[in-house]
Amino acid sequence: MIRTVAAAAAWVDEVGLALLFPKADVVLPSLWEQVNGSAEENWSIRDEDGKFVSWSEPMGFLWPAKDELPEQGLACVGKHLARVVACVAPRLVPTLVGANREPADDDPVVAAIREHGPLTGLQLREATGQDKKQVDRAVASLHHRLVLTTSHLVEQDGPWGALAHDLLDRKWSVPKKPPARDAARRELASLVLDRAGELTAADLAGVFAWRRKEAAAILDDIGDGRDDEAGFRIWARR
């Protein structure tokens, strides 16, 4: 089981795309399963009354490691896939940008980070004049649109630090001309199909938030399709 940041980074580089924690309807592997040995949600140790005592050993490692990975430039971490926190191998960041980038140049959160550098949620509220709900919603959307990403953890008063967010292009040195959209989507679909063995269009669409019709067309290009007994189309690697 993974117990070092270097080992976690090596695993992310090997699989290319992964979730931080498993999600039932998403076919990607999760770093939690590699750290914990299973998908079981044994995140904490609690007393007989159910009161939190401490993190479990696996969570005690993973919780800080998820922030150390991007801080050390070892893995791109953010809400970039399936609308949950995901880990992306640095070599695939330009491909993911080419496939899924949705520009947001006029967003005040983007403007603030472009001017001041990586900022936490509190710093963004101070810089933009927006409230916590507005900033949190904007940050989540901008992660999904591959405009922002996690930069590093900022220590602050209290038991928890605060995540700073940076422009994804600046954090990961994305080229001005990333791979073309169609080619990038085929590459990412091929990677997921190779890892999963077989996919439905809904499986692929769920990972990248693509339309099912488009996901099916891409799978037709890269895989062999068949209908199962229930009439669902399933593709395997050609």
- Domains (ranges, CATH) in the chain? 1-88 (no CATH), 94-178 (1.10.10.10), 181-237 (1.10.10)
Q: Is the pLDDT of residue 81 over 90?
A: yes
Say how far apart CA 92 and CA 112 lie, in whole Å. Answer: 27
Q: Is the pLDDT of residue 23 over 80?
A: yes
Percentage of the chain surpassing pLDDT 90?
87
From 197, 188, 206, 208, select the one nearest 235 (Cα to Cα): 197
Mean pLDDT, the chain, whole residue set? 96
pLDDT single digits (tens) 159-207: 779 999 999 999 999 999 999 999 999 999 999 999 999 999 999 999 9
DSSP symbols for 100-146: H----TT-HHHHHHHHH-SEEHHHHHHHH---HHHHHHHHHHHHHTT
Q: Is the pLDDT of residue 72 over 90?
A: yes
